[in-house]
Amino acid sequence: QKEVEQNSGPLSVPEGAIASLNCTYSDRGSQSFFWYRQYSGKSPELIMSIYSNGDKEDGRFTAQLNKASQYVSLLIRDSQPSDSATYLCAVGRGSSNTGKLIFGQGTTLQVKP
Amino acid sequence: DTGVSQDPRHKITKRGQNVTFRCDPISEHNRLYWYRQTLGQGPEFLTYFQNEAQLEKSRLLSDRFSAERPKGSFSTLEIQRTEQGDSAMYLCASSLKGPDTQYFGPGTRLTVL
């Protein structure tokens, strides 16, 4: 079992729809959770961070965390073609105080005009 | 530009050659991370520095790899006797403290022929 799992996709949604991206993790002691966006050939760019259970909203993006279910999600409202990218879920290891991140393999999102 | 910078952006080398990459973190960030990313995968942790001290190394970091951060500012990652399997994007990230948000540089894409 991978430490951080994501469906590789591609997830295809029409422009204006809500895109829902999901991630599960195995280390119950994990304390920090991040979503990064990565365009092809570019480096990861931070979208959201979340540390406690519940929802966190930032513009069109909402991150949701459920530590009991070991589940993190990212909702993108009013999806735009420019949102087409790979979305990486990253988890900060609870057993490590170095802050290193464990990444999932990423979910490719395609937003069709 | 006050973000993380990496140099070079691209490196093509022949198998068996040595290569060195440089990372300049965000100026006030004392934590620096190296990751490696291959096609279709998320970044994988390689090593971590807090100031000039290298505090964690992944078992992915074979004895052909060495990293330094001599004055707690920029860092270098050297790969000796490169192999084709070393072809990847090498990413540097920095943060102010852990588990704080990590900001990534543009990466160095290594191709070993």
CB pairs under 8 A between A and B: 67
Mean pLDDT, residues A91-111: 85
The C-alpha atoms of residue B25 and residue B111 are separated, in whole angstroms, by 24
Question: Is 70 exceeded by the pLDDT of residue A97?
Answer: no
Q: Which amino acid is present at B13? A: T
Q: Is B76 helix (H, G, I), strand (E, B) or coil?
A: strand
Contact A100 B89 (CB under 8 A): no
Q: Is A58 helix (H, G, I), strand (E, B) or coil?
A: strand
pLDDT at B72: 85
Question: Is 70 exceeded by the pLDDT of residue B45?
Answer: yes
| Distance to chain B for A103, nearest Cα, Å | 5
The C-alpha atoms of residue A34 and residue A48 are separated, in whole angstroms, by 6
| Distance to chain B for A14, nearest Cα, Å | 24
For B74, the token pair is: 């920029």
pLDDT band at B28 (very low <50, low <70, confident <90, very high): confident
The C-alpha atoms of residue B23 and residue B8 are separated, in whole angstroms, by 9
Contact A106 B102 (CB under 8 A): no
Backbone angles phi, psi at A11, to 5 degrees: -100, 120
The C-alpha atoms of residue B34 and residue B16 are separated, in whole angstroms, by 22
Of A8, A31, A100, the CB nearest to B56: A100
The C-alpha atoms of residue B40 and residue B89 are separated, in whole angstroms, by 11
Contact B42 A42 (CB under 8 A): no
DSSP string, A14-26: ETTSPEEEEEEES
Residues of A in contact with B107 (CB under 8 A): 42-43
The C-alpha atoms of residue A98 and residue B90 are separated, in whole angstroms, by 19
What mean pLDDT is reported for chain A?
Answer: 93
Q: DSSP state, A6?
A: -
- Give the range among A93-97, B13-17, B66-70, B74-78 with minimum mean pLDDT: A93-97
pLDDT band at B18 (very low <50, low <70, confident <90, very high): very high
Q: Does A21 touch chain B (CB under 8 A)?
A: no
The C-alpha atoms of residue B86 and residue A86 are separated, in whole angstroms, by 23
CB atoms within 10 A of CB B13: 16
Q: Does A49 touch chain B (CB under 8 A)?
A: yes
| Distance to chain B for A68, nearest Cα, Å | 20
Of A45, A90, A97, the CB nearest to B98: A97
Question: Is 70 exceeded by the pLDDT of residue A16?
Answer: yes
Residue identified by tokens 């280390």 is A27
Mean pLDDT, residues A40-56: 94
Residue A59, sorted as left (phi over 0), alpha (psi -120 to 50) or beta, turns out to be left
Q: DSSP state, B29?
A: -
Asked if B25 and B74 count as a contact pair (C-beta separation under 8 A), the reply is: yes
Nearest CA in chain B to A8: B40
Contact A99 B106 (CB under 8 A): no
Asked if B21 and B11 count as a contact pair (C-beta separation under 8 A), the reply is: yes
pLDDT band at A98 (very low <50, low <70, confident <90, very high): confident
Contact A88 B101 (CB under 8 A): no
